[in-house]
């Protein structure tokens, strides 16, 4: 393990230590000695409380030091193989390689720490985190983004997926998201193929040009109805004619197909206008005896 010595905590420096707790964003926190010999928190991705690690500092801004794990000397808890192939580049699910029971313990501690910080001198009573029946495929809404491959032999090709962790300008192709159900993933796959087949261009927020912006998919879990909303820079283009018929054929549970226009600069799926392409304007969800549209 890297020695715990005084050193300037700057990009590229190797630090070693034991992860003491979790940061509110899910990353580990350890302490390192700065050049003055003072302890400084270092926020580390890829580490869990109790892990003894080496980490390399990546960034330092506004007094916050961030690092990446480069070696695990001793693991505090057993790991598992993450089911998602995108786990290391996606910013969505940072805890997949930790056992679910360990995740529940840490979530309780995060809540406990939050209350303790606001109520010094008092011990908040925080109950254990309840375990859910479905650890994955529980999301009823997913928002995907269109983009381009940034580099390599496929540079410039259209992609449809999620943002790389910490990068607003880097979208990677999502083959399958484990937060979403199988019908939602089928929508994602079909829309990507449709866009490539018609050689449509993704929106570029730096240049403020391009056509396709977002794909927003909602699913009513009790009825199985799916709502698909294609967010574009303009909705008058020939390829839109076969969008709804082809999508419904591929995903029969698509009960509502919409297209929304957003001409503003930026990476948001807020619509200035929306029109229905097929189906009905809403989908229905049931909670007990109550129906919600």
Domain locations in the chain as residue ranges? 14-74, 77-134, 141-292
Please determine whether the domains at 14-74 and 141-292 fall in the same fold group of CATH: yes
pLDDT digits (tens, 9 = 90+) for 8-60: 788 888 988 999 998 888 889 999 877 767 788 899 988 889 999 999 999 88
Label the pairing between strands 273-279 and 290-292.
Answer: unpaired
pLDDT tens-digit readout, 201-229:
999 888 888 999 999 999 999 999 999 99
Structure confidence by residue, pLDDT tens digits, 234-285: 888 889 999 999 999 999 999 999 999 999 887 787 888 999 999 999 999 9
pTM of the predicted protein model: 0.84
Fold designation for 14-74: OB fold (Dihydrolipoamide Acetyltransferase, E2P) (2.40.50)
Please tell us whether the domain made up of 141-292 is placed in CATH 3.40.50.880. no
Q: What is the pLDDT of residue 281?
A: 95
8 Å CB contact between 228 and 258: yes
pLDDT tens for residues 163-208? 887 777 789 999 999 999 999 999 999 999 999 999 999 998 888 8
């Amino acid at each position: 393990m890297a020695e715990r010595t005084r050193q300037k905590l700057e990009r590229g420096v190797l630090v070693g230590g034991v992860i003491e707790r979790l940061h509110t964003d899910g990353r580990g926190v350890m302490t390192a000695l700065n050049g003055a010999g003072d302890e400084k928190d270092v926020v580390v991705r890829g580490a869990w409380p109790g892990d003894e690690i080496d980490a390399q500092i990546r960034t330092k801004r506004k007094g916050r030091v961030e690092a990446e794990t480069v070696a695990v000397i001793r693991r505090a808890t057993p790991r598992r193989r993450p089911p998602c192939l995108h786990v290391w580049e996606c910013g969505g699910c940072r805890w997949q390689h930790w056992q679910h029971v360990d995740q529940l313990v840490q979530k309780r501690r995060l809540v406990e720490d939050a209350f303790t910080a606001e109520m010094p001198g008092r011990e908040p009573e925080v109950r254990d985190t309840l375990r859910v029946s479905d650890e994955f495929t529980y999301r009823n809404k997913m928002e995907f983004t269109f983009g381009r491959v940034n580099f390599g032999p496929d540079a410039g090709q259209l992609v449809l997926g999620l943002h790389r962790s910490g990068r607003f300008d880097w979208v990677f192709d999502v083959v399958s998201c484990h937060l979403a159900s199988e019908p939602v993933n089928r929508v994602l796959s079909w829309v990507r193929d449709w866009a490539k087949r018609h050689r449509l261009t993704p929106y570029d927020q730096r240049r403020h040009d391009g056509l396709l912006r977002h794909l927003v998919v909602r699913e009513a879990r009790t009825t199985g109805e799916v709502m698909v909303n294609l967010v574009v820079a303009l909705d008058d283009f020939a390829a839109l004619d076969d969008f709804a018929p082809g999508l419904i054929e591929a995903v029969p549970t698509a009960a509502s197909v919409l297209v929304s226009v957003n001409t503003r600069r930026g990476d948001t799926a807020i619509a200035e206008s929306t029109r229905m392409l097929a189906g009905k304007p809403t989908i229905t969800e049931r909670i007990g005896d109550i129906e919600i549209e």
